[in-house]
Amino acid sequence: MRQLQLAVVVVASILAACGGDPAVDSRSAPLLGASEPMGTFERSGAAPGEMARVVLMTDGSSHLELATECGEPPCPPQVMDGWYKSSDVEGVEGLEHFDFIDIKNEVVHACDYQYDGKALQALHLGEAQWEELLPASTAWCADASQCEQQWLMTPLCTGQWACVNNGCQFQCSRKKLW
């Protein structure tokens, strides 16, 4: 227990010495805790306009795919890359709000949400039906750095993340540690 207390004091001292708020990164994007949704969440069978995939990364960046309608399925999704902001919904315990922001710094999509550590439940303004998005079996990526930003589990080996066909894969460079 004493070692844990000492570790907390050391980390706090380092943060204080470096300056800045440890809960905010250089763009003032919130650095979310483990109780916040992080990673890739998907919903199969999403109706047009509903979220089919949401990717939330620790640096505040996001990738959002909304289901679309077309004449010949499968229909390509509407893709929005940018940033997200998470905030409390005032007066409602356990309800949070997402704003998805594009490169022009405009909110392009918004919803209220709840997260129980397993599923992401989203409710769009004016809607009565909650959308349930579950953690994806393979995390989405455009490049390997996005894999590192999703708090993904790594195998017990040394190596690095690779982005293969928009999916995160950890490639071991040495034998397993255990």
Read off the pLDDT of residues 38-97 as tens digits, 9 standing for 90 and up.
Answer: 999 999 989 999 999 999 999 999 999 999 998 888 899 999 999 999 999 998 888 999
* Domains of the chain, start order: 27-137 (2.40.128), 138-178 (no CATH)
Q: How far apart are CA 61 and CA 157, in angstroms?
A: 28
The confidence band for 154, taking pLDDT boundaries of 50, 70 and 90, is confident
Higher pLDDT, 176 or 4: 176
Share of the chain above pLDDT 70, in %: 78
The confidence band for 124, taking pLDDT boundaries of 50, 70 and 90, is confident
Q: What is the pLDDT of residue 21?
A: 33
Instruction: Reduce the DSSP state of residue 106 to 3 states and report it.
Output: coil
Q: What is the pLDDT of residue 139?
A: 97
Cα 151-95-119 angle, rounded to 5 deg: 45
Residue-wise burial string across 71-84, b where 16 or more C-beta atoms lie within 10 A, e elsewhere:
eeeeeebeebebbb
pTM above 0.85, yes or no: no
End-to-end CA gap in the chain: 27
Read off the pLDDT of residues 126-143 as tens digits, 9 standing for 90 and up.
Answer: 888 999 999 999 999 999
Q: How many other CB atoms are found less than 10 A from the CB of residue 10?
A: 10
The confidence band for 176, taking pLDDT boundaries of 50, 70 and 90, is low
Q: What is the pLDDT of residue 96?
A: 94
